[in-house]
Structure 1
Amino acid sequence: MALEQDFIKSHGLGNDYIVMTAPPPGLSWSPEIIRLICDRNYGVGSDGILLLTRDHEPFGLRIFNPDGSEAEKSGNGLRIFAKFLYEYGYAKKESFEIETLGGMVSAKVTLGEDRLVKRVLVDMGNYTLDPDKVGVKGALSPHIEGEIDLAPNLRLKGTAVSVGNPHFVFFVDKIDEDWIKKWGSAIENNALFPRRINTQMVKVTGEDRIEIRIWERGAGYTLASGSSSCAAAAVSVHLGKVKSPVRVSMPGGELTIDVSKTGEIRMEGPVASVMSGRFTSEFLSELKHIAG
Structure 2
Amino acid sequence: MSHTAHIRSHRKPRRSASTIAMRTGVAGGVLSTLAVAGASGAAHAAEPVTQTLELPTLTADLAAQVAQSADVTQQAAASYQLQAERDAAAAKAAKQAKADLAEAKKKAAEAKKKAEEAARKEAAERTTLSASADTGSSSTGTGSSTSTSTSTATGSAAAVVSFVQAQVGKAYVSGATGPSAYDCSGLVQAAFKQVGISLPRVSQAQSTAGTQVGLDNLQPGDILYWGGAGSAYHVGVYVGGGMFVGAQNSSTGVVERPLSYDPPSGAVRVL
Which TM-score bucket, shorter chain as reference? Answer: under 0.3
Q: What TM-score does the superposition give when structure 2 sets the normalisation length?
A: 0.21
Q: Per residue, is there more strand in 1 or in 2?
A: 1
Q: Per residue, is there more helix in 1 or in 2?
A: 2
Higher relative contact order (CA 8 A, sep 6+): 1
